[in-house]
Amino acid sequence: MKTLYLDAKNENATNVSAEILKKGGLVAIPTETVYGLAANALDGEAVKKIFIAKGRPQDNPLIVHVASLEEIEPLVEKVDPRLYSLAEKYWPGPLTVIMKKSPLIPDEVCAGLDTVAIRMPSHPVAREIIKKSGLPLAAPSANASGKPSPTKASHVAQDLEGKIDAIVDGGECSVGVESTVVTLATTPPTLLRPGGITPAQLEDVLGEIQISHAVFEKLREGEKVQSPGMKYKHYAPKAAVTIIKGSFEKYEKFLKAQKIETCAVCFEGEGKNFDKFIEYGKANDSLTQARHIFDALRKVDEMKCERAFVRCPVTTGVGLAVYNRLIRACGFRVIRL
């Protein structure tokens, strides 16, 4: 299949995308978090193609994207009133909310669960494509399953060129990590995946929430998961990557003592101390770290590094999302100096 490249600066890009989606095709679209691989969420056959293109395990459900609150009612059993409070503060934006689904949602979307994940993105191009197609769009991150999520159109092309109908290039994603996922189907609500909306922001609206232990830790063998995405190896470059906790001075000494070639994945301004390095964001600034972490993980392989040591991000606020992605990319290898 030839993948069409569409520049979002060209007004026709969103029209062409909407037409492809209405015909049951797949289009990679920019969102404020990461690029998404979109299909008509109400068409099980179209949704199946997403799983094939990504090589995604079939038991991992997808997020449904809408552009307005009115679109949600038919998709869920009943709109939880707390959804409106969350929407008022955080939508459109990097938050996904899980509720009991309606029969309209095909099994392919929710992987056989009785719930559906819904998000209203803020990216103007994503919003225009949803509106012009007139459809709710199922869209996982537009990477090959297991790879770091795509925050640039070129990342999508690396993984999915020739496998999907089109890629819309809307430049770099501003948040850089996937949305926060919270389920209202448990009491109290459970944070399943940290992202651009922080636990404290959720608690402002919802009161007490619980945080799934899978956010911080490896799942136990055979453990039943609330969010199937948590159990797969994720975001991982081919290289062996390890997180290093401790001061920059200790980090530098540790790396320089290594006998085999290693790549330093560090913060802005620190790279000059090493032969091979990739910088991701500023020290103590989670927002810039979030924006660059996936690109940095892809660069580890592009630079043909076999081993990389990553400076540990701050783990509070949006930093929790950066840390959550990194420990998965590192296969939970963390060294404390």
In the complex, what is the shortest distance from the CB of residue 136 to ligand TXA, in angstroms, rounded to a whole number? 12
In the complex, what is the shortest distance from the CB of residue 77 to ligand TXA, in angstroms, rounded to a whole number? 13
Indicate the residue among 106 and 279 with the shorter CB distance to ligand TXA. Answer: 106
Indicate the residue among 62 and 153 with the shorter CB distance to ligand TXA. Answer: 62
φ, ψ for residue 102 (rounded to 5)? -95, 170
Q: Which DSSP helix (H) or strand (E) runs through 250?
A: helix 248-256
Q: Residue 270 and residue 22: Cα distance in Å, rounded?
A: 48
Q: Which residue is nearest to ligand TXA (CB)?
A: 229
Q: Which of these, 30, 28, 46, lies nearest to 38 by C-alpha position?
A: 28
The window from 81-89, 136-144, 263-271, 306-314 that contacts Mg ion (CB under 5 A) reads: 136-144
The tokens 């991992």 sit on which residue? 60
Q: Which of these, 277, 280, 304, lies nearest to 293 by C-alpha position?
A: 280
Does residue 66 interact with ligand TXA by CB under 6 A?
no
φ, ψ for residue 128 (rounded to 5)? -65, -40
The window from 57-65, 206-214, 278-286, 316-324 that contacts ligand TXA (CB under 6 A) reads: 57-65
Q: Residue 188 and residue 122: Cα distance in Å, rounded?
A: 27
In the complex, what is the shortest distance from the CB of residue 172 to Mg ion, in angstroms, rounded to a whole number? 18
Does residue 92 interact with ligand TXA by CB under 6 A?
no
Sign of CA dihedral 278, 139, 181, 132: positive
The window from 123-131, 135-143, 194-202, 207-215 that contacts Mg ion (CB under 5 A) reads: 135-143
Count of C-beta atoms within a 10 Å radius of residue 272: 8
Could you say which of 133, 141, 190, 286 contacts ligand TXA (CB under 6 A)? 141
Q: Residue 334 and residue 207: Cα distance in Å, rounded?
A: 32
Indicate the residue among 60 and 201 with the shorter CB distance to ligand TXA. Answer: 60
**Structure-token pair, residue 278:** 């990739």
**Structure-token pair, residue 165:** 């109908």
113 binding partner (options Mg ion, ligand TXA, none; Cβ < 5 to 8 Å by kind):
ligand TXA
Indicate the residue among 25 and 308 with the shorter CB distance to ligand TXA. Answer: 25
In the complex, what is the shortest distance from the CB of residue 125 to ligand TXA, in angstroms, rounded to a whole number? 12
Torsion region of 332: left, alpha or beta (phi above 0 gives left; psi -120 to 50 gives alpha): left
CA-CA distances (angstroms) from residue 167 to 3, 6, 21, 178? 7, 6, 12, 18
Does residue 179 interact with Mg ion by CB under 5 A?
no
Could you say which of 181, 197, 202, 266 contacts ligand TXA (CB under 6 A)? 181
Residues near Mg ion (CB under 5 A) are 141
**Interacting residues with ligand TXA (CB under 6 A):** 31, 33-34, 36, 60-63, 96, 98, 110, 113, 115-117, 119, 121, 139-141, 178-179, 181, 192-193, 226-229
